[in-house]
């Protein structure tokens, strides 16, 4: 049974050459923000674009990048993430991340959170991220 579930999960994370792996989300408190991270690999032969994300955990999810200017670190919204064929894009602390704002409930270590990633070509890719630090 476990193998069957693993096989089904694999189907959900791969669509049209886009593979999502190593997903995890930081803990967060209700009404506050947290961040989701993962790696996107484009194993197909067309450029694809991640343009939005939704989840039952939040109605306000944005893609962010981290920047530094005059010794100050900040983050700002990017409208989309483009992945060229053969490219791998890693979202990680201190870099790009998915900002999950106004959480509807607390996210605690080991909780599982479902997200639906919307790609222009690959369509919807559903992932489940575990809460970790």
99 near Cu ion, judged by CB under 5 A? yes
101 near Cu ion, judged by CB under 5 A? no
82 near Cu ion, judged by CB under 5 A? no
Please work out, in degrees rounded to the nearest 5, the angle formed at the alpha carbon of residue 108 by the alpha carbons of 107 and 114. Answer: 50
Q: Are 66 and 98 in contact (CB under 8 A)?
A: no
Considering only the stretches 50-58, 75-83, 108-116, 120-128, report the one whose residues sit in contact with Cu ion under the rule CB under 5 A.
75-83
Residue of minimal Cβ distance to Cu ion:
64
Considering only the stretches 17-25, 41-49, 99-107, 118-126, report the one whose residues sit in contact with Cu ion under the rule CB under 5 A.
99-107
Please report where in the chains the tokens 């790696």 appear, as a residue: 39
Q: Which helix (H) or strand (E) holds 10?
A: helix 2-13
Residue of 131, 112, 127 whose CA lies nearest to 35: 131
CB of 16 to Cu ion, least distance (A): 27
Options 12, 24, 64, 126; binder of Cu ion; rule CB under 5 A: 64
d(CA 72, CA 91): 20
Return residues touching Cu ion (CB under 5 A): 64, 75, 99
């Amino acid at each position: 049974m476990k193998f069957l579930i693993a096989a089904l999960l694999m189907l959900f994370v791969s669509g049209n050459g886009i593979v999502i792996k190593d997903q995890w989300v930081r803990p967060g408190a209700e009404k506050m923000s947290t961040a989701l991270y993962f790696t996107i690999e484009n194993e197909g032969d067309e450029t694809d674009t991640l343009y939005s994300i939704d989840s039952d955990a939040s109605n306000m999810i944005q893609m962010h990048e981290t920047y530094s200017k005059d010794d100050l670190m900040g983050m700002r919204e990017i409208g989309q993430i483009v992945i060229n064929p053969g490219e791998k894009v890693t979202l990680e602390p201190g870099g790009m991340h998915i900002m999950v704002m106004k959480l509807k409930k607390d996210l605690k270590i080991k909780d599982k959170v479902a997200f639906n990633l919307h790609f222009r070509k690959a369509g919807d890719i559903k992932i489940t991220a575990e809460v970790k630090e």
